[in-house]
Structure 1
């Protein structure tokens, strides 16, 4: 398994449906009560893309992207149209959006996170802003790994200083299709009924 640092084409992703999935085991007792057990510690995103009728050029680009990824073999980036930032769509990102850790005068590495155990591993380059105790750091005072979401500060924050960040991100996904069935619907157009994408836990 590996990750290809490319983004699923936005032109082909338009109209995608999907969102979080949680695996919860529910046992209904004879008394009518329930016992519920979370099988996953966090949610996993799933997406369905119904391409509709597209030009052969668009479908060729999709087939080429599928082949270059080895079908479901290699993961890639996908922009969730609703959930792709530290704030809801339409709101401005601020360096104080999300707490990502606390200083101890030694630690310089922090992981981007949305809270609730959901790590952000594929931030969008150039969007990450970082602050310590509410004061934004200049870009020269930290680096961000776009493939892991690890923020490295030049100077360790003092004990109990709150480290926060604002950012946009992609979801790492893979194809959940092993086969793409192309149908010609017109002289120079066709469709692939459904493309399934599933988030890859890292």
Structure 2
């Protein structure tokens, strides 16, 4: 899927509702036991923007955005208003190969930790190294197109975290837009119920 490396208008997405959807299957045994299976390691996020745009300028911006991405053809960046920042307390990095690591956002509760790869960080992300209990800024080059960081001067026992903002790669869920025309002293157009879904690139 082609990727348009621009952010969906933030002032429009503030009223979004949604979150992660896990892919699971479940069945029930004869005695009533519930049996579940995770079909995928990671959920995909979905959002609905129910609040109509409030001005002609907002509508023109949204309409232009829909046209340039070809409806549901191309993916783009979206900032989840509830979850777009990482810090040393809720992030990690996973070794991919050599000196290349994947940025992650982590979610901890009790004895469990869920690790979510972050593929679209925002420029300005800082990678931190913990060596012998002391945090220092690491020398790293972060690819904002993939969420991978090339880290220099690794030593055995080093662990890493990062701080900064991140986006989610999404696409419009529907290839068609539904606009509503409002009468009155000045003709006005609105588009509510916009659905976005996370994509894996």
Could you say which TM-score interval applies, normalised by the shorter chain? 0.7 to 0.9
Change (3 A) 1:100 1:53: closer
- Give, in angstroms, the shift of residue 31 of structure 1: 1.5
Q: Which residue of 2 aligns with 1:89?
A: none
- Give, in angstroms, the shift of residue 97 of structure 1: 4.3
Q: What is the number of residues matched between the two proteins?
A: 189
- Looking at structure 2, the residues matched to 76 and 110 of structure 1 have their Cα atoms a distance apart, in angstroms, of 23
Residue 100 of structure 2 corresponds to residue 109 of structure 1:
yes
- Looking at structure 2, the residues matched to 194 and 81 of structure 1 have their Cα atoms a distance apart, in angstroms, of 17
In structure 2, list runs of 5 or more residues that go unmatched.
Answer: 107-113
- Looking at structure 1, the residues matched to 120 and 126 of structure 2 have their Cα atoms a distance apart, in angstroms, of 11
Residue 167 of structure 2 corresponds to residue 170 of structure 1:
yes
Structure 1 contact 53–185 (Cα < 8 Å) conserved: no
In structure 1, list runs of 5 or more residues that go unmatched.
Answer: 87-92
Change (3 A) 1:118 1:31: same
For 1:12-51, list aligned pairs within 5 A: 12-51=12-51
Residue 137 of structure 2 corresponds to residue 137 of structure 1:
yes
Segment drifting more, 124-133 vs 61-70: 124-133
- Looking at structure 2, the residues matched to 99 and 60 of structure 1 have their Cα atoms a distance apart, in angstroms, of 40
Structure 2 contact 17–47 (Cα < 8 Å) conserved: yes
Structure 2 contact 128–161 (Cα < 8 Å) conserved: yes
- Looking at structure 2, the residues matched to 125 and 27 of structure 1 have their Cα atoms a distance apart, in angstroms, of 45
Superposition TM-score, scaled by structure 1 size: 0.85
Alignment RMSD (CA, Å): 2.0
